[in-house]
Amino acid sequence: MGERWSLLIIRHALFRGVTRFGDFQRSLGVARNILAARLDRFVEEGLMERRPVAAARGPYHDYVLTDMGRELLPVVVALTHWGDRWAAPGDPPVVFRHADCGGAVHQQAVCQDCGQPVAIHAVQAHPTAHEPSFRRPT
Alpha-carbon distance of 54 to 70, in angstroms, equals: 24
Q: Which is nearer to a copy of itself, 33 or 44 (CB)?
A: 44
CB 115 within 8 A of CB 108: no
Closest CB 13 distance from a copy of itself, rounded Å: 11
Torsion angle defined by CA atoms of residues 95, 26, 45 and 107, in that order, rounded to the nearest 10 degrees: 0
Q: What's the min distance (Å) between Cβ of 110 and a copy of itself?
A: 4
Q: Are 30 and 24 in contact (CB under 8 A)?
A: yes
Residues 30-89 that bind a copy of itself (CB under 8 A): 45-47, 68, 70-75, 77-79, 81-82, 85-86, 88
**Least CB distance from residue 33 to a copy of itself, whole Å?**
19
Residue 21 is a binding residue for a copy of itself (CB under 8 A)? no
